[in-house]
Amino acid sequence: MAKITRKPASRKAAVPKKKAKPVAAKPKAPARKTLKATRPWTPAEVHEVFSRFRKANPEPKGELEHVNPFTLLVAVVLSAQATDAGVNKATRALFEVADTPQKMLDLGEERLRDYIKTIGLYRTKAKNVIALSAKLLSEFGGQVPRTRAEIESLPGAGRKTANVVLNMAFGEHTMAVDTHVFRVGNRTGLAPGKTPLEVELGLEKVIPAEFMLHAHHWLILHGRYTCLARKPRCEVCLINDLCRWPEKTV
Ligand code: SF4
């Protein structure tokens, strides 16, 4: 009986009311410095960054092996959610037998699958490569088209694919944003953005034209070998004095 008359619930109910005020008064967790809060890059600083990249590696190369625009296009389509090294392993033999849309169609989807079965999502990718080869033949005279919209209309090809092909095959000043470029654009504060498109447009806006042909590769290589996702190598980073990332380790 005594237990019933203790009314613990009413005591507890009083507690949150008392605590409500201190919560409001308590300062929030120390606001982490955000990229928005960091000093914006000046044009001179951006120029300096890319001058350093250029000095260290004047002619950066993409790591996807290819022998012509068509094989580049195929390699990029195959590289979605796969490593360049993994794609190269499969395409070395493939491109020896199928380096044109017609040869790819002649090879056929089933045999193509055999060549690329070590690559993730290879069934869907094989279907797309056959379909894009057919479309290149029926609509583009067997050539890789030169506009973004046309490339994006090909099965398996999106904006990133179009940007890579336009840049590497045709020398256009495009900025393909993969996971590395996305990370570097955000961390450094060069072009913060929530989506690859935001980062792409941000980078295009700040990078001087003289660097745009190679900027995509410099940023990819920087992300792949220096500004690593889990443990960035800030101590050997070429641009560590300019980088705005609040968590950089130097
Ligand atoms: S200083 Fe560190 S975080 Fe900044 S770009 Fe270099 S490696 Fe990346």
Q: What is the pLDDT of residues 18-47, one digit of tens each?
A: 444 444 444 343 344 455 557 889 999 999
CB atoms within 10 A of CB 77: 20
- Provide CATH 1.10.340.30 ranges for the chain: 69-170
The 10s digit of each residue's pLDDT in 49-106 is 999 999 999 999 989 999 999 999 999 999 998 999 999 999 999 999 999 999 999 9
Q: Which is the catalytic residue, given 17, 117, 160, 241?
A: 160
pLDDT (mean) for 217-246: 97
For ligand 1, whether the C-beta of 188 sits within 6 Å is yes
Cα 107 to averaged position of ligand 1 atoms, centre (Å) = 45
Closest CA to 235 of 250, 214, 218: 250
Q: Which is the catalytic residue, given 178, 205, 231, 241?
A: 178
The 10s digit of each residue's pLDDT in 132-167 is 999 999 999 999 999 999 999 999 999 999 999 999
Asked whether residue 122 carries a pLDDT value surpassing 80, the answer given is yes
178 flagged as catalytic? yes
Q: Measure the CA–CA gap between 187 and 245, rounded to whole angstroms.
A: 5
Name the architecture of domain 69-170: Orthogonal Bundle (1.10)
Q: Measure the CA–CA gap between 9 and 3, rounded to whole angstroms.
A: 12
41-61+174-236 has which fold? Endonuclease Iii, domain 2 (1.10.1670)
Nearest residue CA, atom 4 of ligand 1? Answer: 243
Cα 187 to averaged position of ligand 1 atoms, centre (Å) = 7
- Provide CATH 1.10.1670.10 ranges for the chain: 41-61+174-236
Residue 99's pLDDT is what?
A: 98
- For 25, 33, 35, 206, the CA distances from 29, given in Å and listed in that order, are 12, 12, 17, 33
